[in-house]
Structure 1
Amino acid sequence: MWALRRASTPLRNHGYRVRTSFVFGKLEVPYFGEGNIAGFGTTATLSDRFISFERNNLATWPSSGICISSHGLSTQAGAENSGEEVNMEDGFSELDETHPTTRSEISDDDENVVDDGTQNELDLPEGETGLAEKISRKRAPSELTKAIWNAPALSVGSALDKWVSEGNELSRDDISSTLTSLRRRRMFGKALQFSEWLEASGQLEFNERDYASRLDLIARVQGLDKAESYIAKIPESFQGEVIYQTLLANYVIANNVKKAEEVFNKMKDLEFPMTPYPYNQMLILYKRIDKRKIADVLLLMEKENVKPSPFTYKILIDAKGLSNDISGMEQVVDSMKADGIEVDVGTLSLLAKHYVSGGLKDKAKAILKDMEEINSKGSRWPCRILLPLYGELQMEDDVRRVWKICEENPRIEECMAAITAWGKLRNVQEAEKVFDRVVKTWKKLSTKHYSTMMNVYGDNKMLTKGKELVNQMAERGCSMDPFTWDAVVKLYVEAGEVEKADSFLVKAAKKFGMKPLFNSYRTLIDHYARRGDVHNAEKIFEKMIQSGYLPRFSQFGTLIQAYVNAKTPAYGMRDRMMAHKVFPNKALAGQLAQVDAFRKTAVSDLLD
């Protein structure tokens, strides 16, 4: 474990020194040196409530002098109605970039459902939590699934009553398969109605996983307050580890530090077995919110004798890669190997993505070659990872070669990967060719599939084509969800019509009663800031907060940049940041200095 903690620290010239004596006790901001805090005190409380254990209070530990990278770490994963920040600067790039269901979205038509190592950030192990219903390996959706798909939005219960009255029987396998299909297609509202009907009609005797699944659906559809209230309604005998894992995961999605810490503490107080899962969740959360505490979590794992899981390593590898600490990333891989954990294709894909983004093309190509060797042994699923990476590397011949492996009988995720790859190569015609095949082959498409093609149009500023695709979605009965909105916003913005993107998002949120993705707000505020449009940047900033997205370094940095570009002072910005417990690093402090209304200039004294 010590090797892992050491690997998780950056090169000396990349980091700030952290006093781990305050780990999970009274958390303090360490002294950064004069001038780097932009007027803040040298210490400040980061949370109203802290992770603190009576049995294992780390506040008395001596300092270990661990360094944590000052670069932004990362996570990504959007979440409808959950508060998740999508594709942030501190996002988890390798993990599924769609709604964070318990596994990456896999088509029902994919007969080879495998764990490819690219789990979403929740890292919810199938069979161990209530969030991961059994993955169906049937090629076609069941009649039960079709009945729910085709039911009116708020009439799932009536459709199910009719379905049962016609003599159809329900088995637990049928129920699990149907819930999984609904989740994959982000039909969370219908999935919740199905779960409620199952209990009310007595068709299913609920166990802890069933209650946990309901809890997760409530969090997604109705919000976290409702989800937390629901726990009191669960029979006490079923209020176990799975329930609290589910709640913790959803608070992590929402970046709610206070609540996540409370749930983590609660799990300790209830003396649940502390597996790597809750620690991984806290790693993900602190990776977004306070990266200095990554080493603290690892230190606590070592103290508690909790062995890192493969997912723990993936979090650290991704964090290092996205902070552009390639050397540190490779050290984590070395520690992973030293602990006897296989570097699987999921890990290889993480490495390849960060080598690509870091401009290390030769290293990326070597990794991709290793992944292709797995393909040669009969497994085809790495194609869905290889295609976008070859596209990113502008290796058109290799995109064609890999696509040829799949082209005769492609799976839907391979088609999506090919569309993404052709989009990166700016070959819209080839992307459209693959998408047309998807539309003709699979009758029930999710918004994810349409959004993939729409993003290609957005990247190529093809607004008319994008609008036509939205109309096609409506004609095929595909709902407009926040992921679709996000693609439309990007489409308008890339076409230079930022105001239309803003107006569209307001109307969509009002009409459908769902909150937009964080990424949609970020796209808008980035462009308003670039223009120096302080009024609209502030408007989007406030809407973001009202939607439940807590502003962090990046969002304040963007807002301040709007004032910089407008050449106007930002009154009270420091106080606003302190209210949100955001403490500037050196770069942010430099931005603040530029918009400080009371800043001294070379001629200030003369004018005074």
Structure 2
Amino acid sequence: MILQSTLSPSTPHSLSSNLSSCSLYFPSGSRPFISFPSVKPLNHSIKCSVPQVYSHDTLDYEKRPMLKWNIAYKRISLMKNPELGVASVLNQCENEGKRFTKWELCRIVRELRKYKRFQLALEVYEWMSNRIERFRITSSDTAIQLDLIAKVHGVSSAEDYFGRLPDTLKDNRIFGALLNAYAGVKEKAKAESLMERMRNKGYLNHPLPYNVMMTLYMKLTEYDQVEKLVSEMKQKRIPLDLYSYNIWLSARGSGSAENMEQVFEEMKLEPTIVPNWTSFSTVASVYIKLGMLEKAEECLKDLEMRITGRDKMPYHYLISLYGSLGNKEEVYRVWNTYKTTFPNVPNWGYHSVISSLIRLGDIEGAEKIFEEWLPIKVSYDPKVANLLMGWYVREEPFEKAKSFFDSMIKGGGKPNSGSWEILGEGHMKEGRISEALSCFREAVLAESPKFWKPKPINVSAFLELCEKEGDHTNKEDFVVLLRQLGCFRDEFYRSLLAEHGGMELGEGEEGQLNNQNEDTQGGESELLFSNAE
């Protein structure tokens, strides 16, 4: 058996690398504008005493007993009434005599961000910023807070926060956080403008801002721009890091295997770079896409040999890639080893194996593992259930999909936008226009903040069904919904509307393409930029 019992830390994406010294995760999706008047730039003028470091590597914070950060974290993450806010939990802890250190609070923030609890993480920082007499706020803290504002309240609020900061405090970390906020929502023009400002300020002396822009260009499939940035880095003698090489590998893989292999060989010859499991995952993905399955198999074996430590993510990619290869035996082998290695498998692990088995046509195996997941899950993740429901909508009578949807709700699951959209697909398949439109409206309400957009294929199918049935009322209502979601700022959605009879668009909707939302089907890479104290 190739898989070892331990895994190494690594970032969760085929373009990412292990940047363990960094802690700021960049945003992965866009959010609509929400005014954010309560957020003020953090006061950097307050200093706190430097704790003494003893030989046993502990810190003396006024010689008080250290609060176990995970106890406070659990109280925050399991709040029965989130409307009371994080401040209520932290205040209660301190009223019980447990005085927080900055390290503990930053550790809580780190864990909340790890599980995408961005609103809660932001509230922790707000609590700290209201106690500037106790906590020294660094530029790294400010960059993290800007990042969280972008995730929770949208890029416009992050811009406002950035604008209120004194110019003397805007260092490369803070510029980098805003750059990544733009990249996360594909604001290409603003990202390129900010990148130029960073050039002029001399902030482009590290690979990370280049990685941000290269990731953006990958999302926009502008692979030539990736090449230009790599050339600039080499010209300025800025060394490519592991992340840079992994992005470059993927960009080259969009052209030919030979071009990708050229970069891979250069990467392996670089003395400061050691290809990790992510690198081999990227190469294997390209080989699979190009139909070079034997080479892909070899890469996956190399990938497994490089798994050390306690990182679960490589298993997810192995399962998915073996599923793409059509190798059901290897999917089950990796899955069984995964469960043996780790006592607790997260929801995303179940998502990976169920998705792979469905693609392989093993619906019975997928159903069996889903039933295995139900009694042991920590939380009911609708994304896991959506996999089976999507298959039922495509392959089974609608009644089975509807029954499955109802059982999810009965079992404590809260349908997300994807759940409602899948149910809407089922109604369209049955010719029920009003019911499908109702599901799309529910999909909008299911997102908070609202950034969902229906899949273009479903937009086309709905408009086509309305034309076939002569249902102009529901067609007009659907177009109004699309307008409210900002779909017509996207040229592709406008072209779909034009194909199906067209309707008058509002002011600004005839402008140029402005992709303001992430593709919500599948993970995007998240970069790390600055160190938290």
Q: How high is the TM-score relative to the length of structure 1?
A: 0.63
Q: Against the structure 1 CA distance between its residues 279 and 530, is the aligned structure 2 distance closer, same or farther, given a 3 Å change threshold?
A: farther
Question: What corresponds to 2:111 in structure 1?
Answer: 181
Which whole-Å deviations, capped at 9, do the CAs of 1:439-491 have from their partners, x for residues lacking one?
43343x3x7x4303322321342523541364157x36x6x6xxx31243135
Question: What corresponds to 1:311 in structure 2?
Answer: 243
Question: What corresponds to 1:471 in structure 2?
Answer: 409
Which whole-Å deviations, capped at 9, do the CAs of 1:150-201 have from their partners, x for residues lacking one?
3323212223222221222323343233223322333222222222122214
Question: What corresponds to 1:115 in structure 2?
Answer: 9
Q: Against the structure 1 CA distance between its residues 379 and 185, is the aligned structure 2 distance closer, same or farther, given a 3 Å change threshold?
A: closer
- Whether the 8 Å contact between 2:179 and 2:195 is mirrored in structure 1 is yes
Q: What is the alpha-carbon distance in structure 2 between the residues aligned to residue 377 and residue 142 of structure 1?
A: 22
Question: What corresponds to 1:525 in structure 2?
Answer: 459
Q: Against the structure 1 CA distance between its residues 382 and 495, is the aligned structure 2 distance closer, same or farther, given a 3 Å change threshold?
A: farther
- Whether the 8 Å contact between 1:255 and 1:550 is mirrored in structure 2 is no
The correspondence of residues 459-498 of structure 1 with structure 2, limited to 5 A, is: 459-461=391-393, 463-464=401-402, 466-468=404-406, 470-472=408-410, 475=412, 484-493=416-425, 496=428
Q: Does 1:411 align with 2:345?
A: yes
- Whether the 8 Å contact between 1:457 and 1:466 is mirrored in structure 2 is yes
Q: Against the structure 1 CA distance between its residues 272 and 370, is the aligned structure 2 distance closer, same or farther, given a 3 Å change threshold?
A: closer
Q: What is the alpha-carbon distance in structure 1 between the residues aligned to residue 93 and residue 498 of structure 2?
A: 59
The Cα shift of 1:122 comes to 8.3
Give the SS at the match of 2:323: helix
Q: Against the structure 1 CA distance between its residues 354 and 517, is the aligned structure 2 distance closer, same or farther, given a 3 Å change threshold?
A: farther
Q: Does 1:422 align with 2:357?
A: yes
The correspondence of residues 91-102 of structure 1 with structure 2, limited to 5 A, is: none
Question: What corresponds to 1:190 in structure 2?
Answer: 120
- Whether the 8 Å contact between 1:537 and 1:562 is mirrored in structure 2 is no
Q: What is the alpha-carbon distance in structure 2 between the residues aligned to residue 430 and residue 392 of structure 1?
A: 16
Question: What corresponds to 1:210 in structure 2?
Answer: 141
Q: How high is the TM-score relative to the length of structure 2?
A: 0.71
Question: What corresponds to 2:98 in structure 1?
Answer: 168
Question: What corresponds to 2:300 in structure 1?
Answer: 368
Q: Against the structure 1 CA distance between its residues 521 and 415, is the aligned structure 2 distance closer, same or farther, given a 3 Å change threshold?
A: closer
The correspondence of residues 88-487 of structure 1 with structure 2, limited to 5 A, is: 114-116=8-10, 118-119=12-13, 125-128=19-22, 130-131=24-25, 142-151=70-79, 152-156=81-85, 157-202=87-132, 204-234=135-165, 238-289=169-220, 290-321=222-253, 323=254, 325-340=256-271, 341-374=273-306, 382-408=314-340, 409-412=343-346, 413-443=348-378, 445=379, 449-461=381-393, 463-464=401-402, 466-468=404-406, 470-472=408-410, 475=412, 484-487=416-419
The Cα shift of 1:244 comes to 1.1
The Cα shift of 1:260 comes to 0.8
The Cα shift of 1:331 comes to 2.9
Q: What is the alpha-carbon distance in structure 2 between the residues aligned to residue 551 and residue 326 of structure 1?
A: 36
Question: What corresponds to 1:593 in structure 2?
Answer: none
The number of residue pairs the alignment matches comes to 448
The Cα shift of 1:251 comes to 0.3
Question: What corresponds to 2:449 in structure 1?
Answer: 514
- Whether the 8 Å contact between 1:383 and 1:402 is mirrored in structure 2 is yes
Q: Against the structure 1 CA distance between its residues 293 and 179, is the aligned structure 2 distance closer, same or farther, given a 3 Å change threshold?
A: same
Give the SS at the match of 1:142: helix
Q: What is the alpha-carbon distance in structure 2 between the residues aligned to residue 363 and residue 286 of structure 1?
A: 27
Q: Against the structure 1 CA distance between its residues 378 and 195, is the aligned structure 2 distance closer, same or farther, given a 3 Å change threshold?
A: closer
Q: Match of 2:512, as an amino acid?
A: A
The Cα shift of 1:144 comes to 0.8
The Cα shift of 1:226 comes to 1.0
Give the SS at the match of 1:382: helix
Q: Match of 1:155, as an amino acid?
A: L
Q: Against the structure 1 CA distance between its residues 160 and 372, is the aligned structure 2 distance closer, same or farther, given a 3 Å change threshold?
A: closer
- Whether the 8 Å contact between 1:391 and 1:425 is mirrored in structure 2 is yes
Q: Against the structure 1 CA distance between its residues 424 and 490, is the aligned structure 2 distance closer, same or farther, given a 3 Å change threshold?
A: same
CA-based RMSD of the aligned residues comes to 4.0
The Cα shift of 1:492 comes to 3.4
Unaligned runs of 5+ in 1: 1-110, 133-139, 583-608
Give the SS at the match of 1:115: coil
